[in-house]
Each structure stands twice: as structure tokens, then as C-alpha cells.
Amino acid sequence: MNAIITASDLASALTGQQPPVLLDVRWQLSLAKTPGEPPFDGRKAYESGHVPGAVYVDLDRELASAPGSHGRHPLPDLAEFGTAMRRAGVSSGTPVVVYDGGQGWAAARAWWLLRWTGHPDVRVLDGGLPAWRGPLETSVPTPAQGDFQPVPGATGLLDADGAAALARSGVLLDARAGERYRGEVEPIDPVGGHIPGAVSAPTNENVAPDGRFLPAEELAARFKSLGASEDTRVGVYCGSGVSAAHEALALAVAGIPADLYVGSWSEWSSDPSRPVAVGADPQESERRAGRSAGD
């Protein structure tokens, strides 16, 4: 089953015999803003206009637990996640389509969580809300209660030790911007750099200028050039497990299964005992990190 759906196919599906449950997960990473500028409000954006029938899901509150030692967006409490999904009308036997404001990161986080907890039919609207050409509504629907019961483990999950091991034995992709991977800048976390042995693979290179994914064959070629294929164990991380979910989605489109390190760099860099690598060459940086760790 394809992990993404076009806007035209979604419009057709919504008029079919078994229309999908629609989840609106609009969210933006909150970085430094102009003094006095309010933070992005996903619910307000949803209430100003959404795909008819869509239910708003709050990434920070329903798709993650509170920030802490396991990163800025740790896994949500599964009971609370299940309650949120059932409130939104999600059932195990009903297809689900998730969208966001166009970046795709937040929608991919919801996609990954639902897949990880056992939902068999979840897709992301390719291009997000900007790709939708149908009408919008402002009324908030009250869907029938769903029956989805999350059972973790259907897809791969990495912890810090697992990510470090995979960087040595397989391919660990770093989905952040290249300058953060190289350690040149770090706007959020305690230190810049990357997990030793990880390969830089910015997730924005998986999409066209309109935010839609590149064709599957182009994605497969890109990942192959980075050492990732269906014959290799692949993992991915980012800053806090959100944009990495988008990279996992791109890998799925390319036909390559991937594990996700949800804690990502925000967890890794919070522990000063873990080695930090810098620079563009994964092998050279690994040697440098190894020497510094032994000082």
C-alpha cells in the first residue's frame, strides 16, 4: 500500500463507500521569533478552514509526551494517544488520511505513530493542505467514537544505543539540515554535530518545491547513493523525531523500510557522555569523535 495519497485521489475516496478518517495535524517548529510575535497556533489555523470532516490533532499534546530526558518530542503515553485517536474517529478497520500545512513533518509523525501502533491503512496527503483543491469548512465535526487500540511494535523503533549500533552496522540517516549535521550551527539543542557514523540526508531534499514527494524512483536513487536500500537495515533521526518521521515516510515511498530514533538529537546531545561528531565525512567524524571520547 502506498504511504501517500494525492489530493485528487483523496477527493474521490471521500465520496466512496468507505471514506477515510481525516486528521489535521498542523504544527510548526517554534524557534526564536520577533519579540511579541505569538507562537503558531495549529488549532486556530484548523478552525479558520480545514478539509471537510477533518478532526484536529495536537502534535505536542497528543502525538508526544512532555519534553524531558528522552528529547523534545518523546513518544506519547499510549493510553492518551489511543484516547485521542478514538476521539478523532479512528478505527482499526477504517482508512486514515493525515495532512498538515504542507511541510509534511507533523502529518508524517501521526502516520508513523499509527503505523507503529498497528493501524494497517494510513496515508499522508502529498503536499498537505496547499495541495487540496476542494472546499474548506470551519465547523468542527464530532465523529463517531473509533475503536482503535494502539499496540506498539508494528514498525521499528530505535533508542540511543540502537541508533549508535546501527550507525556502525547499517545506515543511520540524519534528516536535519546539513549545517546542523556538520556542527556549524545549532539553534535548539545543547551542542551541534551528529551521531558518529551517521550520514547526512536532509529531508527537504526528498520533496519538490511544492512540498510534494519526488517520484519513488528518484527517492530510491537518492537513498541508494547514501547507502540505503531495501537490502540494508536503515534508521533515521532528526532533532526531535518529527522531521525524521517525514524521512521515514520518504523511505517508505521509495520501498525502503526504516527504523526511527524518536529521541533523536535532542535526546542524544542532552547526555554529555555520548560522543559528538562534526564535519561532513561520516567516517572521518567517527574517528574524531572516538578520539575525543577517549580524552
Output the DSSP codes for 124-186: EETT-GGG--S--B-S---PPP------S-SS-EE-HHHHHHHHHHSEEEE-S-HHHHTTS--
How far apart, in whole angstroms, are the C-alpha atoms of residue 137 and residue 47? 8
Query: Which residue has cell 498497528?
Result: 118
Instruction: Say if CB 247 and CB 174 are below 8 A apart.
Output: no
Instruction: Say if CB 112 and CB 155 are below 8 A apart.
Output: yes
Burial of 157 by CB count in 10 Å (0-12 exposed, 13-18 middle, 19+ buried)?
middle
> How many Cβ atoms sit within 10 Å of the Cβ of residue 49?
11
Which residues have a catalytic role annotated?
A: 238
